Structure 1
Amino acid sequence: MQEALNSLSSAAQSGAATPSSQTDNYQVIRRSGDVVSFAPQKIAVALTKAFLAVRGAQGAASASVRDMVNELTEGVVRALLRSRPEGGTFHIEDIQDQVELGLMRGGHHDVARAYVLYRDRRNQERAEQKKSAEAAAAAATAKPAPTLHVTDNGQRVPLDQQRLQALIESACLNLNADIQSAPIVAETLRNLYDGVPLAEVYKAAILAARTLIEKDPDYTYVTARLLLHTIVREVLQRDVQPAEMQAAYAEYFPGFIRKGVDNELLNPELLNFDLPRLGAALKAERDQQFDYLGLQTLYDRYFLHVKKTRIELPQSFFMRVAMGLALNEDDRNARAIEFYELLSSFDFMSSTPTLFNSGTLRSQLSSCYLTTVPDDLDGIYESIKENALLSKFAGGLGNDWTRVRALGSRIKGTNGESQGVVPFLKVVNDTAVAVNQGGKRKGAVCTYLETWHLDIEEFLELRKNTGDDRRRTHDMNTANWIPDLFMKRVMEKGQWTLFSPADCPDLHDLYGEAFEKAYTAYEAKTESGELKLFKRVPAVDMWRKMLSMLFETGHPWITFKDPCNIRSPQQHVGVVHSSNLCTEITLNTSDTETAVCNLGSVNLSRHIKEGVDANGVAVKMLDHDKLRKTVNTAMRMLDNVIDINYYAVNKARDSNLRHRPVGLGLMGFQDALYEMRTAYASQGAVEFADQSMEAICYYAYWASTELAKERGTYSSFKGSLWDQGILPPDTLKLLEKARGGYVEVDRSAQLDWDALRAKIARDGMRNSNCVAIAPTATISNIVGVDASIEPSFGNLSVKSNLSGEFTVINQYLVRDLKRLGLWDDVMVMDLKHFDGSLRAIDRVPQEIKNLYATAFEVEPQWLVEAASRRQKWIDQAQSLNIYMAGASGKKLHDTYMLAWVRGLKTTYYLRTTSATNIEKSTVQSRVLNAVPTAPAAPAAQPAMSTLEAAAAAARAQAPATDIKFCAIDDPGCEACQ
């Protein structure tokens, strides 16, 4: 066993399936200091030996294990190469870290546990050996250490270690007292070799700091600052001390804009701003706010570059975006500074398309596009063409396909029979793959189909991995667009009839009582024989199939047609036929209008302040004054997007200019709860969801009516619910009336909605829709908070995106555990083993476990209850992921039926995990959760016994897991912000 784990521990080569041509530019530093070529040969063998050591010969020899080993090996290589895309040097520890990560992410917790324990033991042994060697060296005559040289601009010069140490020390300033430069310096020097390029020295410092993030979350800021140093060197072509950055920014900024224009990256109109004034307004100290994930993401995917050399720095990036949004303002310089302040402070962040393209020659700033597909060949392929054009410029797509006739419907032109919706959806799927938004992120589309469509049963199976692959769409999202009548039939155990839209075309545009009347009339026609093409099924059976497919494949999502329409302010000028890619947009679509939405999100955690409650006790609470100011500016920015935006299709332009919808959302909800020390699974969190969303919506609607006073109302305002004095919370009564009940929602309010109603009656609204909560998958990484309204996925986890893999650790938790004296290496190891969960760690107090419960430890009804409180205020919808441990048919039914009764408009991904993955065995918990002392090895036993014990403990801890991840966790998918 020692040989097996030692082989894995010392494998300096990896990736058996990786061509050697891809690894020619890489080297590996062994612990001895020797530098060897990175040859993808040995890790597959080493992994096989590790499985053999832990699971025995029979378990490790199976074909499935061989496949897993190959997959793990390829994953290790991909991660290593991705961390240094242009070549470089790995230390042996880098490879071990990736092996450990691969084992954990692959669910091989028994092997990983043995490996972690073994590495820890070997580190202790090496430390003892080093101490002995140092003592021996001190006793002998000291020899001068050899001088380490670096290569800089082709010149071989001695490494300036004092300068390197000063750089690392400056990166550690003003962080918590546990952040030390010494271990980073030591690790950096350990990873160097004589003649190393100077750029590799700085890269080694970044990687050295990065390895410490799991020890203390503040090391993420150290890593980001070291990365910033390399970015500054790349952009300014010189070293700049932190104290000099303010002046450097002011000097560099006008030249940056000129360079961007000269290289046809930026709009020449930016040259007409007061560039010296804007350069002086940049705040260099805000570069220190970034964590490593945030800054690396910006560097890799957002900063402008010329021939792959970056020309943009963080603060100039935010100012460039702000300038692009202020182009049409009367005082464009003042507004640009105002917008910059909001972005660079992390109080608010525009969506990814806006960040990508603001101020550029092709300013496609909108996030989402919704279309409805007609029932004719020309219209179908025109819709697919529109998908391609919109996706090319970074738009997420939602397509309504309900009008397209079902399988078996007659085609008049050929007197043949239709092949239905599915073959066309295969084309949509492949188009999304082919048009990948310029390589910046994958194209993404979601197709919606109503539950009465005769092709619905095959639609439910589109994401299955079995069956005819020509009738499968593995890359496209799907969603059910469910009328309330179907949900009532499920509740009442009635029958459900499927039709072809060619026979009942009006159902597509009907909802509420009108839909029910027309639908039952068509059912009567089937009874009389007047309508031949139909199918009747028990509604409960259809519902069960919908839920089972959702559990099995993650699709189609559950979304509700009637609340989206009955509560829509724009029901006087059209129908909402679908939501968007991420289920938060609910706008009308038609043959003449492609709906567009422009997104941005308030960082809720930045709007919490110290206050005093009714009992005079000091507490954290929502900062209404700051939130109002943030929302006012954010709404102005979003409204500006509409006029500045580049529209790839005219139908999108016409619709956006006519209705002017925007979608102000939020992120950092979980972080705000941590600030207030409120558990997600609590009534307090539900109340905070209610109060915070009421405030955001109230201030957003007020800001829109203020913009209307300044700029005029949107053109279709007359006749809207806004115009009738019916505000979003009032529409719950309309929904309840249309359903005949089945609406159980808290109706309480804290703000003066009558004053807002009077203000709108006087000044109108600038925007038909104002609020939508998007997933914020990427922009939350940039500002360093939990995404959107999500609970924390894990207190110690790894995030993957196109920039690589990043250790993310909960800084709030670490702060509390330090206060309790519980933060140590064993806690880190246990958090890794238990997937970032505290539940099985005995020494952590229950109060801390409750506060830092992870997503799968929060019962899904809490997610639904909080979402219900938000939805009553929102004029659009919210991207609501459902996390469910120990999923069952009953639990799925209860959760989604609760969502419907609570008035939700949409839900998003279902993420499930088995109960056994949450309730891992704690037989060894007293050993695992104790702070161990290094035991002396029994004299009669070899060191191998440590490994035997590690493997035995790991086998006892073997978990079962069936976590179903959505495309968000695919490193190539960041389609939703």
Structure 2
Amino acid sequence: MAALQTLAPDTLPTVIKRDGRRVAFDANRIRRALEKAFRATLNLPAETSLSVELAAEIEALTGAVVHWCRNRSEVSVEEIQDEVERTLMRAGRYAVARRYILYREARAEARRRQQLTYRRADGTEALFPHQAIRQRIEAACAGLEDVDPEQVYQELLRTVYPGIPEDELDRALTLAARTHIEREPNYTYVAARLLLDSLYREVFGRAIAPDEQAEACRTGFHSYLEQGLRLGRLDERLLQTFDPIRLADALHPERDRQFTFLGLQTLYDRYLLHDAAGRRFELPQYLWMRVAMGLALHEDDPTTRAIQFYELLSSFRFMNSTPTLFNAGTPHPQLSSCYLTTVQDDLGAIFKAIRDNALLSKWAGGLGNDWTPVRALGAHIRGTNGRSQGVIPFLKIVNDTAVAVNQGGKRKGAVCAYLEVWHLDIEEFLELRRNTGDERRRTHDMNTACWIPDLFMQRVRARKHWTLFSPDEVPDLHELYGRAFQERYEHYEREAEAGRIRNWRRVDALTLWRKMLSMLFETGHPWLTFKDPCNIRSPQDHVGVVHSSNLCTEITLNTSPEEVAVCNLGSINLVAHVNDQGEPDWEKLRETIRTAVRMLDNVIDLNFYPIPEARTSNLRHRPIGLGLMGFQDVLYRRKLSYASQAAVEFADELMERIAYYAYEASADLAAERGAYATFKGSKWDRGLLPLDTLDLLEAERGEPIPVPRTARLDWDALREKIRRQGLRNSNVLAIAPTATIANICGVSPSIEPTYKNLYVKSNLSGEFTQLNPYLVRDLKALGLWDEAMLDDLKYYDGSVQEIDRVPPELKERYRTAFEIEPRWLIECAARRQKWIDQSQSLNLYLAEPSGRKLSEMYLLAWQLGLKTTYYLRALAATQIEKSTLDINRRGIQPRWMKSRSPSSDIIVRRDGPACSPDDESCEACQ
């Protein structure tokens, strides 16, 4: 104290506090701060006395700081603290100085938090609601394992700033939770629940505590209906037809807690109804009930049926496709997913087809156009005595129309053009998606697909020639298939050789096949679809021809100038029908399918048809497309690798059950409502079920289809029921991509394998970290899930194959899409195809593509009787650097790793565009 006592009080400055107040200098505050720093550094508890030497050192340091302050009139607290740091550094007490700096930062952060404000919606400012925020986070974490509310709270405080607006604070809170998803998958539910809090505030105009949300949801249902009617967003029949009190009582707001963050964000961004200012007035449970009501309008007891439909949707047992979710219960209920058209060889018909595309796309329909009838480049035009420009210029207009008329302003318009491979314009058609060449003859925003007869595939194998024609000179080829096509095609070849056909060209079949495959690898298009399996196995062969598939290659329906084929899609969530070990509850599955078939059949009568040809076709044939999603999830629960015979057998058994229950449900619906108009003479009527049609395809090809015909259920009894009662729907099953609705339900899309075990998914709602929860669960059980494992997953781009600590059985089970031999995907698809009356959206993956591998893969798909294939996915040649890895542990990434695989979810094709593994602009059906 002697050194301090030598300074008279009048020589010491006035201290300026942070709030501007001026107070007397107090040296004891400096001494206490120094002592705390020394004790913290030396780990000395407060009750332990300081040694004489240490006490003297602290006194001397204090004196040095006081001496620096002498004869100053004023000094700020910050200036004094800066001098304390400098004094410690001059004395060589670097560790203590560091501790003191950290202490200052901690105090500063505490003051910032204490003084933090936010701006309410009405513009007024208030102190930051620390306690309320903590309670919201704790409520969001309730019941979830391995999540820590404090981590979310601390992450939030690192990002907020004084005066942050209330809505931005809500977003920051949600983002604070999502940052932890890559370390613990359960944080996805935390983020979703916090987003739900924000949604309730938006809908009700005030904060609703989590424990009050269920009551608010039920009591607000009637007001929601009234507001929707007032805004013109809901069908007025919803209040006239239903008992809103019963419906409100049937709501299950607690089911909102099953959403993942990606699922709820997707719903928020694109599905929930909003007013003209963009403010949502619809909650998730209101959406499910709206859709259920919209599909029950014509039922005898609409309220009871709406509750039944709602139960399926809100529990994620079944999900209708996106157009139904968008539009059910609204004044424009365009509920159907897919439209297939055939374009006739006439200028008026061509531009009518383009107009039809625009009208169908406006209301969220995905389009498949058959352009084969249009004459080729150089063909004679009788009316003007000129020469045709062929198909390509019109496709450019189709492309631009899809861009101009998007799907209700909610996602991109999407169309796929089909051309049969004997068309004289086929070679230029293959190049439509290239990034080089004449831009006037390129369609970068449109999908393309080849419609391939068996004869072409057989000539490819035999290395024979192939002849190209213009359809105006061979008008019946497009209407024929199987042996009839072969006979007529060979006749036209002879006619051409004899000079009786003017516009034709002979090419090598294998060369054309190789060009198709090279374009498929380079640009992702055209998709390869097979004409003969689609037609020979079609149950509707008695009333027309399948001329193409749809946008996503799962629909195979007849088209004609008078009929635009329509399909109405929805998908079973397999995960909701199995236990934790992956054992199916068959009775629950049967119950779900019976209700789902009824819902899809209702779509046909309730649908808003933008063009009359679609209405004619849909009411006449009543096709639906019941699909599935979550297949990969169920394999994980069963502890099966996708690349296994056990997975193939399970795919077979599962699809047989689904098919049996679906055809049975349609037959029972026919007994109640009547069979579809063209049932008589169909394969169903003739006792031919999809399993039986494999033999027909085999006979027409003249070669075996190596798919086991094993059946486990009593199909003879079902044949008899269908003969007796008829079917309500001409077509019943089709497996669509489910890219978006699978996100909503939080399961793997459709029949897809896992893309990567850790990656960032990009879609119209933003970027979302995706971490395989099944892998994390199994690694936790073995005590292997830690920061090092997370780093390894990042380093190896979501693959476990090169991580030494991962056991072999997990490496096999958690193979990613590019680590599974394509034959396993094709084998599983072939087993499913034998039960399906339509087709399936089958993506194929190749880690190291080559011409030979591509050819073998697609030849195998054809040989096994598949009707269609979808995207080819190939890995990029380079990858992005990993900016979040610890370089001190990893070092610089070796050059061989940089060329091994991509680190994001974008697949780049050489000289071609990038596409996402769940490109929603393409998979517009769902």
TM-score (norm 1): 0.81
Matched, 1:683 2:645: yes
Between the aligned partners of 1:129 and 1:185, the Cα distance in structure 2 is 29
Between the aligned partners of 1:810 and 1:693, the Cα distance in structure 2 is 25
Matched, 1:975 2:915: no
User: Which amino acid letter does the alignment assign opposite residue 521 of structure 2?
Assistant: F
Between the aligned partners of 2:688 and 2:475, the Cα distance in structure 1 is 30
Aligned to 1:283: 252
Shift of residue 415, structure 1, vs aligned partner = 0.6
User: Which amino acid letter does the alignment assign opposite residue 781 of structure 1?
Assistant: N
Between the aligned partners of 1:686 and 1:417, the Cα distance in structure 2 is 52
- SS of residue paired to 1:573: coil
Aligned to 1:165: 134
Between the aligned partners of 1:128 and 1:447, the Cα distance in structure 2 is 73
| Correspondence 1:257-268 to 2 at 5 A | 257-268=225-236
| Correspondence 1:360-759 to 2 at 5 A | 360-609=330-579, 620-759=582-721
Aligned to 1:795: 757
- SS of residue paired to 2:767: strand
Q: Is the 8 A contact 2:235 2:330 kept in 1?
A: yes
Q: Is the 8 A contact 2:620 2:677 kept in 1?
A: yes
Shift of residue 136, structure 1, vs aligned partner = 7.4
- SS of residue paired to 1:278: helix
- SS of residue paired to 2:115: coil
Aligned residue pairs: how many? 817
Matched, 1:861 2:830: no
- Root-mean-square deviation (CA), in Å? 2.2
Aligned to 1:958: 898
Structure 1 unaligned residues grouped into runs of 5+ = 1-126, 611-618, 922-927, 933-945
Between the aligned partners of 1:736 and 1:371, the Cα distance in structure 2 is 29
Shift of residue 200, structure 1, vs aligned partner = 2.6
Residue number among 737, 740, 744 corresponding to 1:782 in the alignment: 744
Between the aligned partners of 1:672 and 1:632, the Cα distance in structure 2 is 21
Shift of residue 839, structure 1, vs aligned partner = 1.3
- SS of residue paired to 1:309: coil
Between the aligned partners of 2:569 and 2:98, the Cα distance in structure 1 is 56
Aligned to 1:4: none
Between the aligned partners of 1:450 and 1:479, the Cα distance in structure 2 is 9
Residue number among 175, 182, 193 corresponding to 2:144 in the alignment: 175
TM-score (norm 2): 0.86
- SS of residue paired to 1:522: helix
| Correspondence 1:274-353 to 2 at 5 A | 274-306=243-275, 307-353=277-323
Shift of residue 444, structure 1, vs aligned partner = 0.6
Matched, 1:215 2:178: no
User: Residue deviations 1:581-617, cap 9 Å, x none?
Assistant: 000000000000000000000011111136xxxxxxx
Between the aligned partners of 1:820 and 1:771, the Cα distance in structure 2 is 41
- SS of residue paired to 1:194: coil
Shift of residue 837, structure 1, vs aligned partner = 1.0
| Correspondence 1:760-775 to 2 at 5 A | 760-775=722-737
Q: Is the 8 A contact 1:442 1:974 kept in 2?
A: no
- SS of residue paired to 2:756: coil
Shift of residue 146, structure 1, vs aligned partner = 4.0
User: Which amino acid letter does the alignment assign opposite residue 912 of structure 1?
Assistant: A
Between the aligned partners of 1:876 and 1:972, the Cα distance in structure 2 is 22
Q: Is the 8 A contact 2:582 2:635 kept in 1?
A: no
Shift of residue 466, structure 1, vs aligned partner = 0.9
Between the aligned partners of 1:328 and 1:445, the Cα distance in structure 2 is 32
| Correspondence 1:824-973 to 2 at 5 A | 824-913=786-875, 952-953=892-893, 957-961=897-901, 963-964=908-909, 965-966=914-915
User: Which amino acid letter does the alignment assign opposite residue 814 of structure 1?
Assistant: V
Pair member with larger Rg:
2
Shift of residue 552, structure 1, vs aligned partner = 1.0
- Change in CA separation of 1:889 and 1:158 when aligned onto 2, cut-off 3 Å: same
Residue number among 352, 356, 362 corresponding to 2:326 in the alignment: 356
Q: Is the 8 A contact 1:801 1:973 kept in 2?
A: no
Aligned to 1:17: none
Aligned to 1:42: none
User: Which amino acid letter does the alignment assign opposite residue 275 of structure 1?
Assistant: P
| Correspondence 1:55-204 to 2 at 5 A | 133-134=101-102, 146-152=114-120, 153-176=122-145, 178-204=146-172
- SS of residue paired to 2:628: strand
Shift of residue 819, structure 1, vs aligned partner = 1.1
Shift of residue 968, structure 1, vs aligned partner = 5.8
Higher mean C-alpha displacement, 221-230 vs 131-140: 131-140
User: Which amino acid letter does the alignment assign opposite residue 137 of structure 2?
Assistant: I
Q: Is the 8 A contact 1:886 1:914 kept in 2?
A: no
Between the aligned partners of 2:499 and 2:96, the Cα distance in structure 1 is 88
User: Residue deviations 1:706-725, cap 9 Å, x none?
Assistant: 00000000000010000001
Between the aligned partners of 1:143 and 1:370, the Cα distance in structure 2 is 65
User: Which amino acid letter does the alignment assign opposite residue 395 of structure 1?
Assistant: G
- SS of residue paired to 2:443: coil
- Change in CA separation of 1:903 and 1:158 when aligned onto 2, cut-off 3 Å: same
Q: Is the 8 A contact 1:662 1:770 kept in 2?
A: yes
- Change in CA separation of 1:281 and 1:590 when aligned onto 2, cut-off 3 Å: same
- SS of residue paired to 2:152: helix
Shift of residue 196, structure 1, vs aligned partner = 2.1
- Change in CA separation of 1:473 and 1:808 when aligned onto 2, cut-off 3 Å: same
Q: Is the 8 A contact 2:621 2:730 kept in 1?
A: yes
Shift of residue 203, structure 1, vs aligned partner = 2.0
- SS of residue paired to 2:408: helix
User: Which amino acid letter does the alignment assign opposite residue 347 of structure 2?
Assistant: L
Shift of residue 543, structure 1, vs aligned partner = 1.0
Q: Is the 8 A contact 1:886 1:913 kept in 2?
A: yes
Between the aligned partners of 1:353 and 1:732, the Cα distance in structure 2 is 33
Between the aligned partners of 1:151 and 1:463, the Cα distance in structure 2 is 50
Between the aligned partners of 1:128 and 1:556, the Cα distance in structure 2 is 69
User: Which amino acid letter does the alignment assign opposite residue 251 of structure 2?
Assistant: L
Residue number among 180, 196, 199 corresponding to 1:228 in the alignment: 196
Higher mean C-alpha displacement, 519-528 vs 625-634: 519-528
User: Which amino acid letter does the alignment assign opposite residue 881 of structure 1?
Assistant: N
Shift of residue 665, structure 1, vs aligned partner = 0.2
Q: Is the 8 A contact 2:270 2:410 kept in 1?
A: yes
Between the aligned partners of 2:515 and 2:159, the Cα distance in structure 1 is 56
Q: Is the 8 A contact 1:968 1:974 kept in 2?
A: no
Between the aligned partners of 1:262 and 1:626, the Cα distance in structure 2 is 39
Between the aligned partners of 1:476 and 1:145, the Cα distance in structure 2 is 52
Shift of residue 530, structure 1, vs aligned partner = 1.6
- SS of residue paired to 2:789: helix
Higher mean C-alpha displacement, 703-712 vs 245-254: 245-254
Q: Is the 8 A contact 2:582 2:634 kept in 1?
A: no
Aligned to 1:98: none
Residue number among 199, 219, 228 corresponding to 1:251 in the alignment: 219
User: Which amino acid letter does the alignment assign opposite residue 570 of structure 2?
Assistant: G
Q: Is the 8 A contact 2:551 2:922 kept in 1?
A: no
Structure 2 unaligned residues grouped into runs of 5+ = 1-94, 902-906
- Change in CA separation of 1:819 and 1:527 when aligned onto 2, cut-off 3 Å: same
